[in-house]
Amino acid sequence: MEDLDHFPLDWGVRTFTLPGQSESGDLHVVKTSAAKAMVGVVDGLGHGDAAAAAAKVAVRALLEYADEPIISLLNRCHENLRATRGAVMNVAFLNSRENTLTWLGVGNVQGVLYRAGGLEPMASLLAISPGDTLIFSTDGVHSDFALSADLALSLSASPQSIADRIIARHVKGTDDALALVARYRRATS
């Protein structure tokens, strides 16, 4: 029997704030219910206070309209961001009843899905299984992180350890950076 109180998701996040800035323009969102989870990363354009303000507007919209279809959700974000400098983002919905993943990205953010037990990233997003790991990163992370042998060796670690490792080893250092790692796990009975 599925645990109806908690979505079967383990996740971790790590950020890097550009030195000299008071806050990061790269934020994340994780919202779960019994059968669905939304995970996402938002990168406010540029860095510093204006980028952080834009990212906060996008995160508020994602949380407020999380029950809408993903296209409508991103359109809501677009409307809310008009008065800001803008943002790019990756957003995914995981559904534990259907074992599906729906994912949409806008702009220069990266996402990779690793199948359970596999070391190669998968491009097919038809269905998810327990152990599948989704990694989102902003453009402050070198895009080749997903191909590194170091990452392949760490995929069995906790999502937080993976996020920590990505930021520690793959940050460009010229922009804010964020890595969000979400692992779909078997529901408890």
User: What share of the chain has pLDDT > 90, as a percent?
Assistant: 73
Asked if the structure places residue 30 within a domain, the reply is: yes
Binning pLDDT at 50, 70 and 90, where does residue 188 land? low
Band (pLDDT 50/70/90 cuts) for residue 126 is: confident
Q: How far apart are alpha carbons 118 and 59 in whole angstroms? A: 32
- For 107-170, strand residue ranges (E) read 110-114, 121-122, 133-137
pLDDT tens digits for range 39-63: 999 999 998 899 999 999 999 999 9
pLDDT at residue 3 in the model: 39
Domain that holds residue 162: 9-184
Residue 172 lies in a domain: yes
User: What average pLDDT does this structure show over 141-146?
Assistant: 89
In a domain, 1, yes or no: no
d(CA 59, CA 135): 18
Distance (Å, whole) CA 26 – CA 19? 14
pLDDT at 67: 93
In a domain, 189, yes or no: no
pLDDT at 154: 78
Token code pair at residue 177: 């950076």
**99: Cβ contacts below 8 Å, ≥ 6 apart:** 127, 128, 129
Contact 127, 115 (CB under 8 A): no
Q: The tokens 């997903």 sit on which residue? A: 146
Residue 119 is assigned to a structural domain of this protein:
yes
Is the residue at 69 inside a domain?
yes
**Cα distances (Å, whole numbers) of residue 59 to 53, 117, 150:** 10, 32, 31
- The SS3 call for residue 47 is coil
Q: Domain count for the chain, please give it.
A: 1
Give the pTM.
Answer: 0.91
Task: Say if residue 189's pLDDT is above 70.
Answer: no
pLDDT, average across residues 136-141: 96
Give the CATH number for residue 39.
3.60.40.10
Q: For the segment 76-102, what is each residue's pLDDT rounded down to a tens digit?
A: 999 999 999 999 999 999 999 999 999
